[in-house]
Amino acid sequence: MNYEELIVESLNELKQLEKKQKLARDEKRIRFLRLLKSGETKTQAEAGERVGWKLRQSQKIWALYRNGGLASVLEKTEKRGFGKLTSYQISQLNSYLEQFGAKTLEEIQQYLASSFGVRYSIGGLSDLCTRLKIKLKTARPVNYKKDEAEVAAYKKTLAV
């Protein structure tokens, strides 16, 4: 493949762009293209190796460049929130747990599937609950011999 003709940008443009990049990811991507354009490397595998990638990563970046040019190579990816749920759905989940509670992850899994149509594996749901700081609330143990009448009488006579 003749990369010198396929890469539209000049070597000087690529060098300047490489220096301007703030993210290491983008700097590596431009360096990859510059290595191919200058002829220092003959193949995508060689250029990827010089940048620190395996062959498959090099192929993906080259495919991005071929399909959308330099803009698609430098395009920022979307940042996701808490997995598959929106903030509104998370607030609904929290209110559901406050009202009804859930003893198992399966119950939460079933609620999410029926209410929002969102499917989580048990492991994924466990990670979600950890991120959202959702814990199973258990009551403190109570003595089985406790007599309510005696407790009420004691509280009446207690001088505060």
- Average pLDDT, integer, range 21-47: 93
Report the candidate in 81, 86, 108 with the shortest Cα–Cα distance to residue 97: 108
Given this model, what pLDDT does residue 102 score?
Answer: 84
| Radius of gyration for the alpha carbons in the chain, expressed in angstroms and rounded | 29
Q: List, for residues 52-87, the tens digit of each pLDDT value.
A: 999 999 999 999 999 999 999 998 876 655 578 888
Q: List, for residues 110-150, the tens digit of each pLDDT value.
A: 999 999 999 999 999 999 999 889 888 777 888 888 888 98
pTM of structure:
0.53
Q: CA–CA separation, 1 vs 36, rounded Å?
A: 10
Average pLDDT of the chain is: 89
CB proximity list for 134: less than 8 A, separation 6 or greater: 94, 97, 128
- Average pLDDT, integer, range 40-46: 94
Sort residue 120 into left (φ over 0), alpha (ψ -120 to 50) or beta.
beta
Helix axes of 105-116 and 87-99: crossing angle, nearest 10 degrees:
130
The two three-digit tokens of residue 68, written as one number: 């959308």
Contact 30, 14 (CB under 8 A): yes
